[in-house]
Amino acid sequence: MKHIFLLSKENLGLAKAEVLALAGKKSAKLIGNILILDADFDFSRLAMTRKVYQHLFMCSIADLEKKMAGFDWNSVYHKDFAVRIYGQGHSFSEKTLAKYIWNAVKKPKVDLSNPKTSIEIIIVGKKVCVGKLVSDVSHDFFKRRLSTRPEQHPTTLDPKLALACVNLTGIPKDSTLIDPFCGIGGFLIEAGLIGLDVEGYDISDIMLKKCKINLEFFKLKKFKLQKKDATKLSGSMDYVVTDLPYGKGSFISDDLESLYSNFLKALFKCLKCRAAVIFPDFVDHKKLLKKTKFKIEHTFNIYVHKSLSRNIVVLSK
């Protein structure tokens, strides 16, 4: 079924890639911050999408009333309805457009507070997308911010961005996500809360202890933590997400490039599907990746503060 995804505007490229990764698609139609494609997955997982709609129709602003009058509203109507309009550059009222639905369906009823049939009209430039709301995507990211956790670390990624990174791998349900530099467990928390099994490795006993405390704080049970050197990974790993250590308090060698290079070589031997690896911007990740045979699927630059940005790099073989 074709759906409309209302993307968060803070990073449209990343938001689009997150949807496509979970949908298993390579391309879709993007109009402003509206993404349209055939998709069927658990929309509640999305971090960088605000709402998802069943796609009803698209048209120009000039043709909107004609399309509203001609659409089969009985095919999507259930119990009651409301109409909402978003966007500028038009003179329509919600009440006027709602009349087309009212006149078309049997026993119409309006509920403006909690409608079973929420029809939303999104105007982007001269284009109009009309959809039936199927998922108002919301997460308690604010409740999981760093300051709420019993164990903290200054380089920990924002929970919203951490979940987006997990989704960029396209990891399906009933799969295991591995973080070879798990730290205090930011990625593991987000992955665990959407129902994935998680495994975290770290060379520091202290970090592993802190990670366990955080995972238990969020009532996660399906997790494994092990003391491991990420440069000596072995076995098979389907999906990996990790934020490479770089801070002064990290348990790492003085030579970051050597650490990263050895990790990437080990990861290449183990990875079966896809990984999202975050590099600090002061490290030339392209140079390091050229020494491997990884395919770079996406790169997203994320601003942290005036002296630091991070590059999220999605890798496959």
Q: Which residue has the higher pLDDT, 6 or 155?
A: 6
Mark residue 219 as left, alpha or beta (left: phi above 0; alpha: psi -120 to 50; beta: remaining).
Answer: left
Clarify whether residues 89 and 217 are in a common domain. Answer: no
Query: Do residues 215 and 114 share a domain?
Result: no
Residue written as token pair 């366990």:
212
Residues 132 and 155 in one domain: no
When pLDDT is averaged across residues 79-101 and rounded to a whole number, the result is: 94
Give the CATH number, domain containing residue 38: 3.30.2130.30
- Of 115, 136, 157, the residue at which a domain comes to its end is 136
114 and 165, same domain (yes or no): no
Residues 168 and 292 placed together within one structural domain of the fold: yes
On the question of pLDDT at 249 being above 50, the answer is no
**Looking at the 3D structure of the chain, how many domains does it have?**
2
Mean pLDDT of the chain: 94
Residue 286 has pLDDT above 60, yes or no: yes
Residue 254 has pLDDT above 90, yes or no: no
Q: Looking at 86, 106, 136, which one is the last position of a domain?
A: 136
Rounded to the nearest 10°, the torsion over CA 200, 309, 279, 194 is: 30
Judgement on whether residues 100 and 216 belong to the same structural domain of the protein: no
Same domain membership, residue 279 and residue 171? yes
Q: Does 310 lie in the same domain as 172?
A: yes
User: Among the three residues 136, 169, 194, which one is the final residue of a domain in this structure?
Assistant: 136
- DSSP-assigned states of every residue in 126-146: TEEEEEEEEEE----GGGGSG
Residues 106-126: what's their mean pLDDT?
Answer: 96
Domain that holds residue 251: 141-316
- Which CATH number is 164's domain given? 3.40.50.150
Q: 252 pLDDT exceeds 60? A: no
Taking 80 as the threshold, does the pLDDT of residue 248 lie above it? no
> What pLDDT is stored for residue 247 in this prediction?
63
Q: Does residue 208 surpass a pLDDT of 80?
A: yes
Are residue 80 and residue 227 in the same domain, yes or no?
no
Distance CA(13)–CA(299), nearest Å, equals 9
Do both 128 and 224 map to the same domain?
no
Q: Encode burial over 142-176: b for 16+ CB neighbours within 10 A, e otherwise.
A: eebebeebebebebbbbbbbbbbbbbbbbbeeeeb
Residues 32 and 118 in one domain: yes
pLDDT digits (tens, 9 = 90+) for 50-81: 999 999 999 999 999 999 999 999 999 999 99
pLDDT 10s digits, 175-185: 999 999 999 99
Confidence (pLDDT) at 307: 80
Residues 127 and 235 in one domain: no
